[in-house]
Amino acid sequence: MRSAALLLAAALAAPLAAQTSRLRADIELDGVAISSAPAIGSVNSYLSGSTFGGAGRLALGPVRLDLGYWQGSLTTQSGPAANEDVVEGQALLGIAPVRWLTLSGGPAARAYTTPGGTERWFTWRVQARVDEPLVEGVVSGYGEMWIVAATSVNVVQPFSSGRGGTFGLRVTPPRWPIWLTMGYGIEQIKLGDGSRLDTVNRVSFGVGYSRR
C-alpha cells in the first residue's frame, strides 16, 4: 500500500517537475465589444459598447499569475437602463498540473457608473482553462469555464449564483514573439433567486507579446 502511494505521488509530481522554473511573461492589449442584457423582474434592457485594456501573465514553473484591466462605456439600446461607464479588473492565481490545463482562482471587480451613481461588484472566481494546439506552433485554441464562488455588490438583491465561459483562438506567426487572439465569452449572474439576471456577451480581439 505504501509503495503504491509513493508511485501515485511520483506520477502526479512528474508533470510539475518537468516544467521549467524560468520566469516567463506574456502581455496582451485588446479591445472588447460588449452587449449587456440586465433583467429586473419583467423589465428588460439592452446595452452595447466597448472596453479597451490589457492582460498579463507571469509564469514560474507550474505557477501562474494572471492580471487584467479594462475600461470603456455602454450605451442603452432599449429599456430603462441608463448609459454607463465600465471599469473591470481581475487577479487570478493558478497552477498548471499539466501543460494544457490551468486551475486558478481570485478576485474580479467591476464598476458601472451612471448619472445616478456607481454600482460596484466584487466577486471571487474559480476557473479552469484548457489550451490546446490546433496547428503546431502556429494556431492554438483555448477554453475557460468559471463559477462565482462569492460576491459583494451594492444593490438590494442578494447574490444567488454566477457562471461564465470563454473560448477562442491564438495565432502566432512562426519565429515571432508576437501573437494575435480572438475570442467570445458569455457570463450570467443571478441575484435575488432570479429576480435580477445580468447576462453579458463579449467578443474580443487582441495582440500580445511573449518574453521567454
The per-residue DSSP string of 9-21 comes to HHHHHHHHHHS--
Above 50 in pLDDT, residue 5?
no
State percent of the chain over pLDDT 70: 90
pLDDT on residue 1:
47
Above 60 in pLDDT, residue 12?
no
The contacts of residue 157 (CB under 8 Å, 6+ apart) are: 191, 192, 195, 196
In the beta sheet, which residues pair with residue 173? none
d(C-alpha 94, C-alpha 106), whole Å? 9
Residue 62: helix, strand or coil by DSSP? coil
- Give domain status of residue 9, yes or no: no
Above 60 in pLDDT, residue 148?
yes
Higher pLDDT, 8 or 106: 106
Average pLDDT over residues 72-94: 97
pLDDT on residue 14:
45
List the grid coordinates of 76: 442603452
- Give domain status of residue 93, yes or no: yes
Average pLDDT over residues 181-192: 95
- 194-199: which pairs have CB atoms within 8 A and are 24 or more residues apart? 194/160, 195/40, 195/41, 195/157, 196/38, 196/39, 196/40, 196/41, 196/155, 196/157, 197/38, 197/39, 198/36, 198/37, 198/38, 198/39, 199/36, 199/37, 199/38, 199/39
pLDDT on residue 7:
40
Above 90 in pLDDT, residue 18?
no
- Give domain status of residue 183, yes or no: yes
- Give domain status of residue 5, yes or no: no
Element (H, E) at 132: strand 117-135
Boundaries of domain holding 36: 19-211
Above 80 in pLDDT, residue 45?
yes
Q: What is the CATH number of the domain that holds 129?
A: 2.40.128.100
Average pLDDT over residues 26-36: 96
d(C-alpha 160, C-alpha 201), whole Å? 20
Tens-digit pLDDT profile for residues 157-172: 888 999 999 999 999 9
State percent of the chain over pLDDT 90: 77
Total domains, the chain: 1
pLDDT on residue 79:
95
